[in-house]
Amino acid sequence: MKPDLPETANRADKGEDGRLFAPHSPRIKGPILDLLQARLGKSGRFLEIASGTGENTVHYAAGLPDWRFQPTDVDPERIASISAWIAHSGADNIAAPVELNAANPGWGITVEVDVIHIGNLFHLITEAHTKAILNECAQALAPAGQLIIYGPFMRAGALTSEGDARFHQNLTAHNPEIGYKDDFDMLEWITQAGLEPAEVIEMPANNLCLIARRSF
């Protein structure tokens, strides 16, 4: 089910060919791909949770041609956009998108992948759903597999920019159970899920990348 969010969150513009365009995508897809290329091996299985419009997915797939990508999303409109982006790109290393509510229990034991990437999701969902997704990711990762999380977070309980404070307030006014998660809380929840936090990386636009590895 599509999450209930304020209009300012997760916005995308429609193109004529079915593709959606997220305003933030041009700013973030380059730095994220740079990070992926620096930290991933030559090839593997790449699962993307909450792929959104799909424009980032095709960018990563073009930069990592020997990886096999599986995009997913909870929103049928985004699924259609991902399919349109794949068709537009002509990529042959991206599987058809799958509709997935990653907070639902049980899917993690049905797949095995080398990398799971989650971008700009956790501030839009509840703490309970965040923990549920981390638990499923831990089950889905192959031995030594990596979980790569990108997005905005509180730093030691504090919002560190005026823009983040405004956006967090907008989210919590709409739904008090969502909003920015704290970086220290995220690391604790990652550990509780059975993963080993490996790196915390500063990213452009005051965002973070949290990297964890399967430790069991």
Q: Is residue 58 part of a domain?
A: yes
Q: pLDDT in tens for each of the 216 residues of the chain?
A: 566 776 666 779 998 899 999 999 999 999 999 999 999 999 999 999 999 999 999 999 999 999 999 999 999 999 999 999 999 999 999 999 999 999 999 999 999 999 999 999 999 999 999 999 999 999 999 999 999 999 999 999 999 999 999 999 999 999 999 999 999 999 999 999 999 999 999 999 999 999 999 988
Q: Which of 6, 55, 56, 10 is nearest to 33 (CA)?
A: 56
Q: Residue 86 belongs to a domain with what CATH number?
A: 3.40.50.150
Task: Provide the domain count of the chain.
Answer: 1
Q: How far apart are CA 147 and CA 72, in angstroms?
A: 15
Q: Is residue 207 part of a domain?
A: yes
Query: What range defines the domain where residue 99 resides?
Result: 13-214
121 Cα distance to chain centroid: 6
Q: At what angle do helices 127-140 and 183-192 cross, to 10 degrees?
A: 50
Q: Is residue 1 part of a domain?
A: no
Record the pTM.
0.95
